[in-house]
Structure 1
Amino acid sequence: MWWRYYFISFAILLALSLILSNFIPLNFYLECGEISLIFFVWYLLSPLIMIFSFRLKKSNDERLNSLVSYTSSIFNMKKPLVYVTKTDYSNAFAFGNFFYKAIGYTSGLLSSLQDNEIIGVTAHELAHLKNHDMEIQVLGLILYNILYLYLFNINFILGLVTFALAYPLFIFIHRMLEKRADLTAVKNNRWLTIYLENALIKIGYLGRSIPSYLLRDIPDFQLYFIKQQLIMNNSRSIFRTHPSLSERLRYLSKYEEWSS
């Protein structure tokens, strides 16, 4: 699903660039404006791209809508639109722009998590919206492309080096935003930590080998022992957009608080 989103996004960005380049003369400041306009238009279109790419449908699941409403109230946020896509893959994702906030869930995730775990995942996605992570990424893309243009005009080699660093920098920023979303979700609502941890274990570890319909009712004490083993693993991810599962469990465990 993500490959479709990235392909469509790239095609739109390329088309906008080709169209605008025919009207904008070769001038650094005008080209900076062109870059900003291209990414701003893509940002406005991004919710439609996401809905089409993931074949999202608005949720008519009263249980899910109620859970999202409840979690939104915890964060004093307006409830975002709720979408669902039918796939066994377990995932949830926040998307939108200034005018359109939404969260998408896969049917695989909904069938594998208990209600409190869905609340934990929703808290993480709401944190992305609360932190304006989409806007930060778009602004980062604009500034990085302007930097690339500036350095390329100064020296061809500097431009190539800047281009080569694009992917590692994207990975680094994305991972920092994911960690911040985790911490934003739990730092003022520590009782959510256990639920988010359990959801991450099911999604990122057990879901690799156990069908989603069997994950839902795994006892908490088993998830606890699995968590301790994963924390001791001490693994880190370098070329992934998210911190490794063991890394996430380590920093989340500092905020654990069992609800009464």
Structure 2
Amino acid sequence: MGYLKTAILMAAMTALFMGLGYLLGGAGGAVIALVIAAAMNAYTWWNSDRLVLRMHNAQPVIRGDRMGLHALTAELARAAGMPEPAVYLIDTPQPNAFATGRNPANAAVAVTSGLVRSLSRDELAGVIAHELAHIRNHDTAIMTVTATFAGAISMLANFALFFGGSRERLGLIGTLLLMFLAPMAAALVQMAISRTREYAADKAGAEICGNPIWLASALEKIALGAARIDNHAAERNPATAHMFIINPLHMHKHDNLFATHPATENRIAALRAMAGAAPQGAAQPRYKSGVPTTRNRGPWT
């Protein structure tokens, strides 16, 4: 997604938030809403990575780990021309991964133990490259801000019933509609940003690792695993679902307005088309690991 479109969506979220503040308290309410939004996002900006990692009980992976996660991430980060992020492991059988952090210099990639067990090294490289693309494109910061706005808008909408100002302007029926429509509008903006950026990260991740088929194959396996294996931490913290490479919640599978991710089959089709359009010999790995890659097709732990 282009930065102009992202800026427009963020402006819409800010306007919606301030509009709620105005309906609750007039011009003063709009100013207060803006101040609250700025304070919430400032806190989230500096602490988002630690908050999300703590929610999922992610544990740091040290350099030289036996799985080779740290080394693989470092090689891919060099191929992407970006700082090496911290690496974390989440102890859950569901295969999945996400990235977090306010910028490439302060970022982390977290993968689940189920992901490491179920993917080949090539496929894992594709997944990590996808997460690195999110970091390099500053998606992690943008998604954190939109999630914070969405939560704040829902909070203000719930407060609407308890403030006379909104009832005087809208009436009881209007206030009730506001309670439902404002959070829905915020969620749609959040989903629009998340869904479009998944396609962009897929494309950039395939370019980083050098082979779109690796990521396409990984997405197939992750989608199957996420559909049948629970991720209890994600179920307790559904606001983080949009951060994962595949929706960790057992929800909608269709590519519609209310899905946090594009349909997996559409993403896979785009990656396979990308592989088919590449010049012969172009799909070569851009990282140089000491562990064989193209010959390793099974779980590599």
Q: Residue 122 of structure 2 contacts residue 214 of structure 2 at CA under 8 Å; is this kept in 1?
A: yes
Are residue 170 (structure 1) and residue 176 (structure 2) matched? no
**1:224-239 mapped onto 2 (5 Å cutoff):** 236-238=254-256, 239=258
Q: 1:194 aligns with which of 182, 203, 213?
A: 213
Cα distance in 1, alignment partners of residues 272 and 188 from structure 2: 28
Which residue of structure 2 lines up, in the alignment, with residue 45 of structure 1? 47
User: What is the one-letter code of the residue matched to 1:242?
Assistant: H
Q: 1:180 aligns with which of 197, 200, 204?
A: 200
Pair 253,30 (structure 1): closer, same or farther in 2 beyond 3 Å: same
Q: What's the CA shift string for 1:79-99, capped at 9, x where partnerless?
A: 100000211111111011236
Higher mean C-alpha displacement, 98-107 vs 84-93 = 98-107
Q: Residue 58 of structure 1 contacts residue 82 of structure 1 at CA under 8 Å; is this kept in 2?
A: yes
Pair 167,131 (structure 1): closer, same or farther in 2 beyond 3 Å: same
* Larger RCO: 1 or 2 (CA < 8 Å, sep 6+): 2
How far did residue 46 of structure 1 move? 1.6
Pair 51,113 (structure 1): closer, same or farther in 2 beyond 3 Å: same
Cα distance in 2, alignment partners of residues 138 and 54 from structure 1: 16
Q: Residue 89 of structure 1 contacts residue 108 of structure 1 at CA under 8 Å; is this kept in 2?
A: yes
Cα distance in 1, alignment partners of residues 272 and 254 from structure 2: 16
Which residue of structure 1 lines up, in the alignment, with residue 272 of structure 2? 253
User: What is the one-letter code of the residue matched to 2:135?
Assistant: L
Q: Residue 88 of structure 1 contacts residue 106 of structure 1 at CA under 8 Å; is this kept in 2?
A: yes
Are residue 33 (structure 1) and residue 35 (structure 2) matched? yes
Q: Secondary structure at the match of 1:105?
A: strand
Q: Residue 83 of structure 1 contacts residue 102 of structure 1 at CA under 8 Å; is this kept in 2?
A: yes
Q: How many residues align?
A: 209
Cα distance in 1, alignment partners of residues 225 and 187 from structure 2: 29
Q: Secondary structure at the match of 1:167?
A: helix
Q: Secondary structure at the match of 2:262?
A: coil
How far did residue 208 of structure 1 move? 4.9
Pair 109,172 (structure 1): closer, same or farther in 2 beyond 3 Å: same
User: What is the one-letter code of the residue matched to 2:73?
Assistant: V
Cα distance in 1, alignment partners of residues 140 and 208 from structure 2: 23
Cα distance in 1, alignment partners of residues 38 and 148 from structure 2: 6
- Unaligned stretches of 5+ in structure 1? 1-24, 211-234
- Unaligned stretches of 5+ in structure 2? 1-26, 230-252, 286-301
Q: % of aligned pairs identical?
A: 27
How far did residue 74 of structure 1 move? 1.0
Q: Residue 80 of structure 2 contacts residue 208 of structure 2 at CA under 8 Å; is this kept in 1?
A: no
Q: Residue 57 of structure 2 contacts residue 90 of structure 2 at CA under 8 Å; is this kept in 1?
A: yes
Pair 133,207 (structure 1): closer, same or farther in 2 beyond 3 Å: closer
Task: State the TM-score, normalizing by the size of structure 2.
Answer: 0.60
Cα distance in 1, alignment partners of residues 123 and 55 from structure 2: 26
Task: State the TM-score, normalizing by the size of structure 1.
Answer: 0.69
How far did residue 173 of structure 1 move? 2.0
Cα distance in 1, alignment partners of residues 226 and 120 from structure 2: 14
Q: 1:70 aligns with which of 56, 71, 75?
A: 75
Pair 190,110 (structure 1): closer, same or farther in 2 beyond 3 Å: closer
Which residue of structure 1 lines up, in the alignment, with residue 143 of structure 2? 137
Cα distance in 1, alignment partners of residues 196 and 115 from structure 2: 24
Cα distance in 1, alignment partners of residues 120 and 38 from structure 2: 42
**1:215-226 mapped onto 2 (5 Å cutoff):** none
User: What is the one-letter code of the residue matched to 2:112?
Assistant: T
How far did residue 138 of structure 1 move? 4.1
Cα distance in 2, alignment partners of residues 259 and 245 from structure 1: 24
CA RMSD in angstroms comes to 3.1
